[in-house]
Structures are given as C-alpha cells and as structure tokens.
Structure 1
Amino acid sequence: MASVFTKVISGEFPGHFVWKDDKAVVFMTIQPIREGHVLVVPREEVDHWDDLSPELLSHLTQVSQKVTKGLKEAYPAKRVGMMIAGLEVPHTHIHLVPLDSMGDLSFDHASGAEAEELAAAAANIRKALVAQGHSEAEL
C-alpha cells in the first residue's frame, strides 16, 4: 500500500513543495515543530533509511544541505537541525527544522498548520532557493 508521502508526491494528497528532482522532493510538513520545518523525501518508497542505497542516501543528504541554505535565508536561526525519526510514516524522510535551541527539535512543539501558512512558507523557501540558483525549486 502506498504511503501518505507517496500520495503527496503523486498529487493524490495536497502538498506544499519547495524542491522536486528525479530522486527526491521536499515539502512542508503539516505538523511543523517550527516555521520553515520541511521534509526531504525520496520518491522511492523505502521504509527504513538504513535500507536506502548509498547513492540515494547521498543524494538526500546533498538536497538537505542545499535546502538548509535556503532555510537559513528564509527563516534565520542559529542552526537548521536535521533529523531522521521515521516513526510516524513508513517512508524514509529527513526533517529539516530551523532552530535556536535543542528544545526546538522536540515533537512536543508540533502543531497543525493551515494550508495558507504552509503555502506562504513554501513560497518563502522557494524564493530563497531560486535566488541561490536552484532550478529544482522553480515549480
């Protein structure tokens, strides 16, 4: 059965994308910990990150690094945290979260976001990524 992320990637479920390439997508999470919280997701449905091919894992890491630079511009913070938790959806995904303290990575802070908020945040991040020369953000 297709995961919820596969359904977002295919367009069956709505998603606010900031990056698309042939191997991965990045979109806003509907349960953000902080504003700007995105998910880096492989198009290939792989449950556990340690089952990803080394090439795909490397690609996801490279995309995460590029998107982090856009996040830093769009949502200034001390750092952008990168986390693989993987319990909520059986499809590998990397959380990128602007943060100012370790407590900012706590899922206790997660709350539902309205579609308008997610659309505005995605547009803000895409703008920063396009300005940095990433055509993958030109959706």
Structure 2
Amino acid sequence: MSTIFRKIVRGELPCYKIAEDSQFMAFLDVNPNTKGHTLCIPKKEVDKLFDLEEGAYQELMRFSRKVALALEKTVPCKRVGMAVVGLEVPHAHVHLIPLNSMDDMNFSNKYHMEDEEFKELAKSVHVNL
C-alpha cells in the first residue's frame, strides 16, 4: 500500500515541510481547518496510530509536541489542539490545529491559503528537534 503520505516521504509528491528527522515528518495540511494546521507522520507506513509499536508511538507524540510548541510561537492562537481521525489516509498521522475557538476543530470548516502563504508559513516555523 503506497499512500499519499508515503509518496511525500519518498519525495515523489511535494509538501510544505515544517520539520523532519530520521523517523518522522511534519508538514502543513493542504486542506487546513485553520492557518498552521499541520500533520505529523511516521516515515514508516503503518495504517493506524495504535498499530505503531509502543516506542514509535511515544516518539511520534514527542515529535508532535515539539512541532505544536513551535506552531504556538508562530501562529496566533489560544492553543494548539490535537486530533487523530485516521479515516482520510491509511497512514498513521496526528493533526495539530492552531485553535481560537472550538469551531476550529470542525473538519467541515476549511481555511483557504495561497501557495505563497503556505511557503512563508512553512519557513517561519522553527522546530527544535
């Protein structure tokens, strides 16, 4: 199974990358709920979050926390929320969503961004890995 996320990890598809290490990658969601909506994924293709090995799960949460802290410093928001849905792409992933209201967690609401805005935002988020 080769998902869109696997193709992003392999460099076959472009993304607005925020952070990357040997095991994980974070990039802006191209269909965001809010400005700064980011996806954190393991590079290893695993369908469901809870199918990750215990250590990989804990490391993904640690990685996601670092990305969330960087987002909170970059994108004006009250806090960064986290969601795991897992139905859109069969590859484990965590949504980090800058929040100013509960409506920002509604996946039916979308925030429009142009390519330049995505690029500028991706460059401005500095994650301390």
Q: State the TM-score, normalizing by the size of structure 1.
A: 0.87
RMSD: 1.3
Identity of aligned residues (%): 37
Quick one: distance in 2 between partners of 1:102 and 1:22? 34
8 A Cα contact 1:30 1:112, kept in partner: no
Number of residue pairs the alignment of both structures matches: 129
Q: State the TM-score, normalizing by the size of structure 2.
A: 0.94
1:27-55 Cα distance to aligned partner (Å, 9 max, x none): 01110100011000000101111100111
**Where does structure 2 lack aligned partners over 5 or more consecutive residues?**
none
8 A Cα contact 2:29 2:37, kept in partner: yes
CA displacement at 1:103 relative to structure 2: 1.2
SS of the equivalent of 1:107 reads coil
Give the structure with the higher percent helix. Answer: 1
**Where does structure 1 lack aligned partners over 5 or more consecutive residues?**
none
Letter in 2 for 1:74: T
8 A Cα contact 1:18 1:27, kept in partner: yes
Larger displacement relative to structure 2 (106-115 or 92-101):
106-115
